Structure 1
Amino acid sequence: MTVFDAGERPIGAILRANQSAPPDELVETLAQAVVGLGGTDVVLYLVDYAHVALMPHPDELPHGEQPEQAAVDGSMAGRAFASGEPMASQRDDGWHVWVPVTERTNQLGVLSMTLPTWNDDVESFCTELGLVAAHLVVTSAQYTDLPHLMRRRQDMDLAAEMQWSLLPPLSFSAATTTVAGLLEPAYEVGGDCFDYAYNEGILDLAVFDAVGHGVASSVLASLLMGAYRHGRRDGEDLRQLVETIDSAVRICGGSAPFATGMLARFDIAAGQLTWISCGHPQPIVVRRGSTLDEIELVPALPLGLGSLAAVVGDLVTVDLEPGDGVLLYTDGVVEARAVDGELFGEERLRDLLAREHLSGGRPQEVVRRLVRSTLSHAATRLHDDATLLYLRWDG
């Protein structure tokens, strides 16, 4: 079966229509292509900031049905989201279909629809439609608040709004390397942030934990990220980056601002990871179901305290093996407390990381599961920000 004649170019038609359509009508734009398949009931689901639910748009379909949010765990939409594969189920009114909405490896959500038929040609087209939907979501977010509002499952405080605006996409893949990050509490986060950038075969990564909470911490986090990106784009090495960020924090003013930080640089072709810690927990390297021991090194002070002692510590280089994973994290993960006061702890984190890594799950799902485990231990209430940035290298 040929879904469309070659001359109709449905994907091109969507992109052309999107050039002049109102940016908050992206679902209507996508629905035009589904009509060409004889389909109906197009719903765009975007994952919420905590990555536990998929939030639907529009609120009401033409025949009056009101789409409900779908759980990431335990729903067909959630299965399509977590697996990155289309899902289809035949029902009385036709085929109910869910396709991932993914930009590169950044999981944005799911596009659902009802179709009269389902075969390889239709599946191929719907998969491409999911890629187009991701493009529309990313571009429309520059012109309308709709994608941002869709992702809110609850009220978000100002500090969290500021923090999320700083972050890069939550996942990225190039060549044999994938990186995925997440932070909690998603709607109240203040001081944690992370960044990464790929340039000419080198992947730079950084995790920061700014002192305090709330807006003041978010302002400091913004300074950290700005100084880091500025120095990185100026071609500075890791030691120079530490000095640049420390200087920026020290002239910030306020009541002795400081932040711990972990800066890393990964040569993808060589499989060589180099990192430097500024008062921050060391990365955890996981290999074939177990984690490597910490490295003994001279401790350095957090960023912003360079006038007291050295903030430039030892530069550590690790040769990774194909299949290795590396986890950067903030202390809010291991310091999460259960109701009885028991800490989540580094040993528990290492054990869970080893198991999740060995399972071969996608890095995005590994990070999501680690965050869920942390929240479960703390009875869903964290007293400090918890951030994870996970890299997997497949050689």
Structure 2
Amino acid sequence: MTTLRAFARLLRDAQTRAPEDLVRTLEEGVASLGGDSVVLLLVDYEQQVLRPTPEQVAGVEVPTAAVVGTMAGRCFSTQEVLDAPAGDRVQVWVPVTERAERLGVLTLVLPELDEERRLLAAELGLLAALLVLAASSYTDRFHLQRRHAPLELAAEMQWSLLPPLAFACGGTSVSGLLEPAYQVGGDCFDYALNGTTLDLAVFDAMGHGLPSSVLSSLAVGAYRHARRSGVPLPEMIGRMDAAIAGLMGDTFVTALVGQLDVRTGRLSWLSAGHPAPVVVRDGGVLAPAQTPALPLGLGLVDREAATPEELSLQPGDRVLLYTDGVIEARAPDGEEFGIDRLHDLLVREAGSGLLAAEVLRRLVQACLQFQGGRLRDDATLLLVEWTGASST
């Protein structure tokens, strides 16, 4: 009860402070453990670095931490509480995560680290995640902290459209990423868990930049409106097609919309000119045949003739939805990334034992490195893992 009351007090204090002052609330929680030197590190949009607030502790500058090769980065990647000696004290790194969405890392220094303090430090990380998400509705402070480079207007619009980058419930998890993070325009993804159905969608709007972002926004809005109306997949596709054709004209969006029954693992989907999903199973790849279909926006979708594809997942299966910017990426010498390379990397990373969100981050980084660090087209990936019947 004492611990519960302590956390309740921290939540009450956060309600009355300016939203950008949440680190002060966390400092009070750490002080109750006899600790200090609290720093909140938030991951940037590319998930390559962790950026600190405050930027100085005791007059000493706090550096940005790389996701690869640092203790903070290791904590972020593995989602484990880590510690190391700091003189006669202990420095601790704690994941800042809400469900499966990895927001960053909380660092602090304690006089000692026994099991009770380790548990309480981990719970402070959970509290930090909730405070960051709540505060971000009222201040731009933490949106700006995540920016390692200027964000273009089209990218600003796309990021504001997205659901959380990762989610997990019961035996099902979903993770998504966009690249290039600071210039993305026409790609987007969406998902929602409604009862025992996980709704999924990936979009690739025609063109680049701001016009493409506007088109993508319309597609996502039409999708959510249809999804929340409770209509089946063919009707969803038809309504999205009509909305885009009726307003934009001479444009199109490729899309894949799907539904996963989280109790049974039954996956169904419809493609509108979009690549089929890829399934990783038992160290290999299942690649369902691509069914020819027109993109959205031409006003030609036949709702009566549209028949969803179906596949029964097995426990441990991972399903990747992606846009063509992933496989069409080219190295400086002109070599294409290609579907076979994607399959090989997906199987390798999926077999690493890492969390789905970290597998996806590594896939994106491999794609970026192949193309010399910068993509020439938008690339979006959405990875779903089903480990068995959900209790949802």
Cα distance in 1 for residues equivalent to 2:275 and 2:331: 21
1:49 matched to 2:55: no
Alignment match of 1:11 (pick from 7, 14, 17): 7
1:341 matched to 2:337: no
The runs of at least 4 aligned residues of structure 1 exceeding 6 Å deviation read none
Unaligned runs of 5+ in 1: none
1:286 matched to 2:267: no
Unaligned runs of 5+ in 2: none
The alpha carbon displacement at 1:38 in A equals 1.8
- 1:369 paired residue number: 362
Alignment match of 2:321 (pick from 328, 334, 344): 328
Cα distance in 2 for residues equivalent to 1:179 and 1:7: 32
CA contact (8 A) 1:274 1:316 kept: yes
Q: Cα RMSD between the aligned structures?
A: 1.3
- 2:348 paired residue number: 355
Q: Please, what TM-score do these two structures have when normalized by structure 2? A: 0.96
- 1:245 paired residue number: 240
CA contact (8 A) 1:301 1:310 kept: no
The alpha carbon displacement at 1:295 in A equals 2.1
* AA in 2 matched with 1:323: G
* AA in 2 matched with 1:11: F
The alpha carbon displacement at 1:94 in A equals 1.4
- 1:68 paired residue number: 63
1:263 matched to 2:257: yes
Cα distance in 1 for residues equivalent to 2:290 and 2:272: 14
CA contact (8 A) 1:277 1:313 kept: no
Counting matched residue pairs gives: 387
* AA in 2 matched with 1:371: V
Identity %: 51
CA contact (8 A) 2:317 2:386 kept: yes
1:181 matched to 2:152: no
Matches of residues 20-59 of structure 1 in structure 2 within 5 Å?
20-59=16-55
1:97 matched to 2:92: yes
* AA in 1 matched with 2:191: Y
The alpha carbon displacement at 1:87 in A equals 0.6
The alpha carbon displacement at 1:358 in A equals 1.8
Cα distance in 1 for residues equivalent to 2:27 and 2:246: 52
Cα distance in 2 for residues equivalent to 1:126 and 1:293: 43
CA contact (8 A) 1:278 1:313 kept: no
Cα distance in 2 for residues equivalent to 1:70 and 1:359: 24
CA contact (8 A) 2:234 2:307 kept: no
1:110 matched to 2:90: no
Give a deviation string over 1:242-278, Cα, whole Å, max 9, x none.
0010011012235x12110000100011110001100
* AA in 2 matched with 1:112: T
Cα distance in 2 for residues equivalent to 1:197 and 1:77: 30
Give a deviation string over 1:92-140, Cα, whole Å, max 9, x none.
1511111000001110000001111111000000000000000000000
* AA in 1 matched with 2:36: T
CA contact (8 A) 1:30 1:133 kept: yes
The alpha carbon displacement at 1:306 in A equals 2.4
CA pair 296-80 structure 1, distance change in 2 beyond 3 A: closer
Q: Please, what TM-score do these two structures have when normalized by structure 1? A: 0.96
* AA in 2 matched with 1:35: A
Cα distance in 1 for residues equivalent to 2:287 and 2:71: 40
- 1:220 paired residue number: 215
Cα distance in 1 for residues equivalent to 2:264 and 2:251: 37
